[in-house]
Structure 1
């Protein structure tokens, strides 16, 4: 049985893919890195290292890793938006899941690199100002 292709054009699907990956990356990054979720994240990190059961350790680890967490955020977004990539049905959902996770993680990597560059620049400026004769 040959899977049925979606009637939407490929450029439209690509645009939706790139746009949907933005909130996925934002949600995943915020939960796993930003200060607003620090306490729950520290609790999950502690539980992921100290739980006796492998299942419990892996469950709590999911909330500390942006890559892992992005899979669940993506699944939630797909549930809400019903976005499918290339094919209709379950094949389209599977392709959309992995494509969205990939693009969202590229966005998060770019954001992380940008943050590191900004921090490095701020440190360099502070060192230069500290070395200036008064």
Structure 2
């Protein structure tokens, strides 16, 4: 596979990886299991137990496991066609996926900020119109 094809696949494969990692570690649909994992990561009896459950609360950590699954399923390699290609692919995909998640987070913060500012202005207008 040509290098440009590998790069295109890198940026495309990172999208579902970011989507899965973000959804599991942040969205409401997984809130209850995530809260359970958070509690176990803080109150677990052994360090292994605490670290195992922490993985499901951290998008960066969880993205490694999602990436490994995607690399196995897609047989994606980057730069090399042996085991080195898999290692480079995993770290590259995690890096790109985490950039995507950071961008998504910043966009969501911006949208929430605009929504809050609109509510404040609406309240101010209501108070002015009542006077």
TM-score range, shorter chain: over 0.9
Please name the residue that 2:103 is paired with.
110
Q: Which has the higher helix share?
A: 2
TM-score, normalised via structure 2 length = 0.96
- Cα drift, residue 52 of structure 1: 1.4
TM-score, normalised via structure 1 length = 0.94
Q: Secondary structure at the match of 1:83?
A: coil
Alpha-carbon RMSD across the aligned residues, in angstroms, is: 0.5
Structure 1 gaps, min length 5: 1-7
Please name the residue that 1:3 is paired with.
none
Moved over 3 A (4+): none
- Cα drift, residue 124 of structure 1: 0.4
- Cα drift, residue 77 of structure 1: 0.2
The CA deviation string for residues 32-68 of structure 1, in whole angstroms up to 9 with x for no partner, is 0000000000000000000110010000000000000
For residues 92-111 of structure 1, what are the structure 2 equivalents within 5 Å? 92-111=85-104
Structure 2 gaps, min length 5: none
